[in-house]
Structure 1
Amino acid sequence: MLKKLSTSFLGLTIFLTAGLGSVFADSKLDQEIDQVLGTKYSYGGTTTSGFDCSGFTMYVFSALGIKLPHQSGSQFEMGTVVTRDNLRSGDLVFFNTSGRGVSHVGIYIGDGKFAHSSTSRGVVTNRLSDSYYAERYVGAKRIMSDSAYETHAADE
């Protein structure tokens, strides 16, 4: 009887801890990105019907009250340069996928990962260390002020 009760209590504790952890750990930025993961790629797309890369970043930042232009090169002209070692959630990461300068943008989400709208897979996450992206990485820009970061992107 005691063993059965202990097992039930342990199961309930794990269930409640897992549920609470996922609800309270996600920042507003994480929640916005999670809601659109899997959205298909659409050239010029800026809505949940389909995103291109800069349409995705524009959409997510708009939900946080931050206006971005709809073009990766234009977004690269904004903000403050951030070194790869100092990236924090919400920083924009840029890539040269066309061979002609900045042509792709994503949002750094921590732990070496970024979210973006891939032409082949739609909105997904990848690691900056994935060879395709590592070879094409151009740099990063910090768009959010420290107070906006604390409000929208810092893990609670």
Structure 2
Amino acid sequence: MKKLSLAIALTLSILSTQAQTKSIPSTQVTETEEDKGLAKDYFSQIMGVAMSATSNVKLFQFVYDWIGTPYHLGGDTKRGIDCSGFAYQLYSKVFNTAIGNNSRNIFSMVNPVGKEELKEGDLVFFKIHSRAITHVGVYIGNGKFAHASSSKGVMVSYLADPYWTRYYYKGGRLLAEAPQNN
């Protein structure tokens, strides 16, 4: 959050200085819209995902804030988290929705979607050295997903990476009747 706030403050300061010295036409854009635009540019650069006008800045902020959190089986805090804990926290904080507490439970709550149909916020499931689902991540666009890796903690990976391609099972979109957190 501090990194984003600093980046936004610095960019706004530069834009303000330019407007004072270069007669840049003023627009009727509110600061929140400017902040969202700057945040989208920032996350597009650091995560390598081209964010559209409809992209969910809150999703990218959440992922960014958790990057590097160590892996801990059964964990659900920034001191350590596993893949389903990460998905659970993300859905709770970003979408205000409660999902299952393990990858197989979560899969039972989705409508399967094809890899080419994945949208921001969809879930991606993997069967790693198993016949059962063993891993879950959250799709963020441009073939990338965020997840808690057992070797590197929370990170962003490519679905097209040979490792993930080998173990990819299905993508899924949460069913409409998923419970909302109150």
Partner residue, 2:29: none
Residues in 1 aligned to 2:99 and 2:86: alpha-carbon distance in whole angstroms = 10
Structure-to-structure mapping, 1:45-84, within 5 angstroms = 45-63=75-93, 64-84=95-115
Higher relative contact order (CA 8 A, sep 6+): 1
Secondary structure at the aligned position of 1:115 is classed as strand
Structure-to-structure mapping, 1:125-136, within 5 angstroms = 125-136=156-167
Residues in 2 aligned to 1:22 and 1:124: alpha-carbon distance in whole angstroms = 22
Query: Does the C-alpha gap of structure 1 residues 20 and 142 become closer, same or farther in structure 2, counting only changes over 3 Å?
Result: closer
Partner residue, 1:34: 64
Give a deviation string over 1:100-128, Cα, whole Å, max 9, x none.
32100000000000000000000001100
Secondary structure at the aligned position of 2:133 is classed as coil
Structure-to-structure mapping, 1:4-153, within 5 angstroms = 21-24=37-40, 27-63=57-93, 64-143=95-174
Secondary structure at the aligned position of 2:105 is classed as helix
Determine if contact 2:140/2:146 at 8 Å carries over to the other structure.
yes
Residues in 2 aligned to 1:85 and 1:53: alpha-carbon distance in whole angstroms = 22
The total of aligned residue pairs comes to 132
Secondary structure at the aligned position of 1:134 is classed as helix
Unaligned runs of 5+ in 1: 1-11, 146-156
Unaligned runs of 5+ in 2: 1-13, 19-34, 42-55, 177-182
Determine if contact 2:68/2:153 at 8 Å carries over to the other structure.
yes
Query: Does the C-alpha gap of structure 1 residues 70 and 24 become closer, same or farther in structure 2, counting only changes over 3 Å?
Result: same
Shift of 1:144: 7.0
Percentage of matched positions with identical amino acids? 38
Shift of 1:32: 1.0
Determine if contact 2:111/2:175 at 8 Å carries over to the other structure.
no
Residues in 2 aligned to 1:76 and 1:20: alpha-carbon distance in whole angstroms = 32
Query: Does the C-alpha gap of structure 1 residues 36 and 144 become closer, same or farther in structure 2, counting only changes over 3 Å?
Result: farther
Moved over 3 A (4+): 19-22
